[in-house]
Amino acid sequence: MVLVGVSRGHNTDHAGDQPTRDQPVTRQPVTNDEVARAFADMATALELLGANRFRTASNSRVAREIRDMTTNLADLVNEDPATAVARLCALPGIGKGSAEKIVELMETGAMNEHQKLMAEVPRGLFDVLDVPGIGPKAARVMWQELEIESVDDLMAQIDTEAFRALPRMGEKTIANIKEAVAFRAQTASRTPIGQALPIAREIHEALAALPGVERAAYAGSLRRGEETIGDLDFLVSSSEPEAVAEFFVNAEGVTKVLAHGATKCSVRLERGRVAIQADLRLVPLEAFGAALMYFTGSKEHNVRMRERSIKRGMRLNEYGLFEGNEERPQDLGKAPVAAADEEAIYAALELPFIPPELRQGHAELDQPPTARLIELNDIKAELHAHTVASDGSMSIEELAQCARNRGYHTIAVTDHSVSQVIANGLDADRLRDHVDAVRAVAARIEDISVLAGSEVDILADGSLDYDDEILALLDVVVASPHAALRQDPEAATARLLKAIAHPLVRIIGHPTGRLINRREGLSPDMSALYRAAAEHDTALELNANSQRLDLRDRHVRGAREQGCAIALDTDAHREENFDQLVYGVLTARRAGLEPEGCINTWPAEKLHTWLRAGR
Chain residues in the site for DNA (CB under 7 A): 52, 54-55, 57-59, 62, 89, 92-99, 113, 131-139, 167-174, 176, 220, 230-231, 233, 258-264, 277, 279, 295, 297, 299, 302-303, 306-307, 309-311, 315-319, 327-330
Q: Identify the CA nearest to 437 among candidates 478, 479, 390.
A: 390
Strand partners for 387: none
CB 246, min distance to DNA, A: 14
Long-range CB pairs of 239-243, under 8 A, 24+ apart, other chains included:
239/212, 239/214, 240/210, 240/211, 240/212, 240/213, 241/282, 243/210, 243/211, 243/212
CA neighbor of 292 nearest in space, from 211, 222, 196: 222
In angstroms, what is the minimal distance from the CB of 132 to DNA? 4
- Cβ nearer to DNA, comparing 307 with 461: 307
> In the bound complex, what is the minimum distance in angstroms from residue 272's beta carbon to DNA?
21
How large is the angle between the packed helices 526-536 and 553-561, nearest 10 degrees?
50
> Is the separation of the CB atoms in 611 and 411 below 8 Å?
no
From the CB of 559, what's the least distance to DNA, in Å?
Answer: 26
Cβ closer to DNA: 295 or 466?
295
Least distance (Å) between residue 345 CB and DNA: 13
In the chain, the N- to C-terminal Cα span, in Å, equals 42
Q: How far is CA 62 from the centre of its chain?
A: 18
Q: How far is the CB of 405 from DNA (least distance, A)?
A: 38
Which lies closer to DNA via its Cβ, residue 279 or residue 457? Answer: 279
In the bound state with DNA, the residue whose beta carbon lies nearer, of 317 and 543, is: 317
- Closest to DNA by CB, 163 or 583: 163
Q: For the chain, how big is the Rg over CA atoms in Å? A: 26
Phi and psi torsions of 556, nearest 5°:
-60, -40
Considering the complex, state which of residue 167 and residue 211 has its C-beta at the smaller distance from DNA.
Answer: 167
- The least CB distance from residue 279 to DNA, in Å, is 6
Q: How far is the CB of 167 from DNA (least distance, A)?
A: 6
* Least distance to DNA, CB of residue 102, Å: 9
- Cβ closest to DNA, residue 138 vs residue 158: 138
- Sign of torsion, CA 362 114 143 122? positive
Query: CB 247 → DNA: shortest distance, Å?
Result: 16
Which residue lies nearer to DNA by CB, 318 or 569?
318
Closest approach of DNA to the CB of residue 42, in Å: 8
Is residue 356 within 8 A of residue 224, CB to CB? The reply is: yes
Give CA 283 to chain center in angstroms: 29
Residue 278 in contact with residue 293, Cβ under 8 Å? no
Reported in sequence order, the residue ranges of 293-360 that DSSP labels E, i.e. its strands, are 314-317, 320-323
What lies within 8 Å, CB to CB, of 511 at 6+ separation is 480, 481, 496, 522, 524, 529, 540, 541, 550, 551, 555
- Is-contact 138 174, C-beta < 8 A? no
Q: Which CB atom, from 181 or from 477, has the smaller least distance to DNA?
A: 181
Cα gap 509→522, rounded to integer Å = 13
| Distance from C-alpha of 476 to C-alpha of 521, rounded to nearest angstrom | 25
Q: How far apart are CA 314 and CA 308, in angstroms?
A: 8
CB nearer DNA, residue 52 or residue 186: 52
SS3 555: helix
State the alpha helices, DSSP H only, in 324-380.
342-348
Give yes or no for a cis peptide into 523 (omega within 30° of 0): no
The smaller minimum CB distance to DNA, of residues 87 and 430, is found at 87
- Least CB distance from residue 347 to DNA, whole Å? 19
Nearer to DNA, 21 or 299 (CB): 299
